[in-house]
Structure 1
Amino acid sequence: MIFDIMPATSRSRRQAMSAGIPPLDLSRLAPSLYAQGTEEAILTRILDRVAPASRYCVDIGASDGLRNSNTALLLRELGWLGTLVEGSAYRFGRLKETYGDAGNVRLVGERVQPDTVDDLLDAAGVPAVFDLLSLDIDGNDYWVWQGMQRHRARLVVIEYNPYYPPPERWVMAYDPEHNWDGSTHYGASLASLVALGATRGYELVCCDDMGNNAFFVDRALYPLLGIANNEPRMLFRPAMYNLRYVGHNRFLTGHPYRYGPGEAI
């Protein structure tokens, strides 16, 4: 597949405005039932504009399929079909307990690598084009998304590393054996993911308020959202998921810093 690598142009923005498309409203978002923050509400509002075509989702890094899941609401409450992939033997066991014999879900217990992701999805029966990809493996996320060549999601939710704010480019050096140690050494910066998305024909839509996930949509669908400015510096959110309260005081704590090899791409 070949895509125009230019970012959303002023022409496409003018087209959206001239068509009378109001900007996507991401205010007053309700907390999620399963996801970590407001991801479910964000997805709902995007899917109100970008109607699902197949109601099929893929979750790579699905964990137990419940806690911090971006796909559980769709699969458990809304009748979507999907494939859930988890590389940890322990968490995959929990994932099987969660879904059991559910007929709408295919479970895959395998560590995903960039050069095997398409074969894995083929073997699971994933359509070449599907509605939603959720990618959160605490490490090689950038490389796996880059490696996905034969399958394409219309909407992508991918974890970014909020400790490298725009315009900084940083991607964790590929490590096939990587296991996250709880530090800042994981994933990729938002600016690097936006650059990769541009080569794949995607536009950044938003980041969740806690600084966990970035949302991308197929460029052909982007005008439906009426977004005036999707530059990373405008949509970036810092890490806000480790809040600690002492009396009336609130403290923001984060993952301990650890230097690890990375690439400025």
Structure 2
Amino acid sequence: MKFKLGQKIIDKLRNKKQNENKKLLENVLNCLQSILQINNKILERSNYVGGQRWEIELQERYKNKLYLDGFGYKVFSQNDEDGIINEIFTRIGTTNKKFIEFGVQDGIECNSHLLLDTGWSGLWIDGNKDDCNKIKTFFKTSLEDKKLAILNDFITKDNINELFAKAEFQGEIDFLSIDIDGNDWHVLEAILKRKQIIPRVICVEYNPLIPPASDPKDCSTDYVLPYKEDWIWPVDDSQGASLSAYYHLCKNYGYRLVGTCVNGVNAFFIQENLAQDKFISDKNGALPFYNPWRHRNIKYYTPFAMPFCDLRESLANRIDIYKKNGLI
């Protein structure tokens, strides 16, 4: 789109230049024209985030239904993860419909909120006390119905399995989602080693800065942020681990890479024995699944404003929340 509406407005205004404020009007027109030109340049550049190669490959993946790129959509997830998660379980089925997710903030925008609202149950862990208090309010019904459990703990590679045990989670679960903006790789390794829980599907945020190598045995692009127990992300590119690093880690523990979200934020792995011929093979490594970081260029929105509480909350609780937030 080339801002045709904006151009029409400019054209109409130019036809009315004969008024008394001709000079002022001309200045306004010139400003509008400049904004229009800048926006058009931004749109042209945004077609090739990270380079034309990835855009061309993405268009090819859309044509092959074994890839997950074309199945994404947002309900409560940050990007298109909700749709990808749904498609994965459509292909492999579910067992106990149990999830664990950590780094959920207040729970409204996360990868398991939709699962919770569609018959699943699980555990959320977050290190922020204020966010956990919001969860207690926003998801009061799910907590009371024992569909959801929460822990307010700062996660490390040394305590993660104890936290699972504390919440009485062990053995196989259907879905695990990790997003702690730093020690994700190290924490995932601790989970896979210990086997306190055994997830069938893993979603983990990856660092899209470095594309994977073309040779699946090449580990030169395996960037992993060095472990620091009290690490808090400073909002820069020193975050998590590269897609290639996760590919090699998960491969060692019997998981297959099956896709990434189009925005280049999260990667999805499933147990090798579940994949069969339902997904593209990852024998050629992580490169065929790579998406660059498009988060600023592709935005996903919910149909309405982001909710202040869960869909299942009672009217009385909703009214109380709305009053506290100044909505009514």
- TM-score range relative to shorter protein: 0.7 to 0.9
Partner of 1:88: 128
Whole-angstrom distance in 1 between the partners of 2:132 and 2:171: 25
Partner of 1:72: 113
AA paired with 2:164?
A: L
Q: How many residues align?
A: 222
Q: Which residues in structure 2 correspond to 1:7-86 (within 5 Å)?
A: 24=66, 26=68, 28-29=70-71, 31-67=73-109, 69-75=110-116, 77-86=117-126
Higher RCO, Cα 8 Å, sep 6+:
1
State the secondary structure of the residue aligned to 2:273.
coil
Give, in angstroms, the shift of residue 224 of structure 1: 4.7
Give, in angstroms, the shift of residue 25 of structure 1: 5.0
Name which of 242, 251, 264 aligns with 2:296.
242
Give, in angstroms, the shift of residue 145 of structure 1: 0.4
2:190 corresponds to 1:137: no
Partner of 1:15: none
Give, in angstroms, the shift of residue 116 of structure 1: 1.2
TM-score (norm 2): 0.64
AA paired with 2:99?
A: C
Whole-angstrom distance in 2 between the partners of 1:98 and 1:201: 37
Partner of 2:266: 213
Whole-angstrom distance in 1 between the partners of 2:130 and 2:272: 38
2:286 corresponds to 1:232: yes
2:201 corresponds to 1:155: yes
Q: CA RMSD in A?
A: 1.9
Give, in angstroms, the shift of residue 93 of structure 1: 2.0
Kindly indicate which of the two structures has a greater share of residues assigned to helix: 2
TM-score (norm 1): 0.79
State the secondary structure of the residue aligned to 1:155.
strand
Whole-angstrom distance in 2 between the partners of 1:228 and 1:146: 23
Partner deviation per Cα, 1:221-240 (whole Å, 9 max, x = no partner): 11152424462111110000
- Sort the Cα spacing of 1:28 and 1:147 in 2 relative to 1 into closer, same or farther, 3 A: closer
Give, in angstroms, the shift of residue 101 of structure 1: 4.5
Give, in angstroms, the shift of residue 30 of structure 1: 5.1
Contact 1:46 1:225 (8 Å CA) reproduced: no
Name which of 180, 189, 193 aligns with 2:246.
193
Whole-angstrom distance in 1 between the partners of 2:150 and 2:245: 30
More deviation in 85-94 or 126-135? 85-94
AA paired with 1:51?
A: G
AA paired with 1:188?
A: A
- Sort the Cα spacing of 1:173 and 1:56 in 2 relative to 1 into closer, same or farther, 3 A: same
Percent of aligned positions that are identical: 27
Contact 2:256 2:282 (8 Å CA) reproduced: no
Contact 1:24 1:46 (8 Å CA) reproduced: no
2:153 corresponds to 1:100: no
Give, in angstroms, the shift of residue 128 of structure 1: 1.2
AA paired with 2:202?
A: V
Give, in angstroms, the shift of residue 95 of structure 1: 2.1
Question: Any unmatched runs of 5+ in structure 2?
Answer: 1-63, 214-220, 300-328
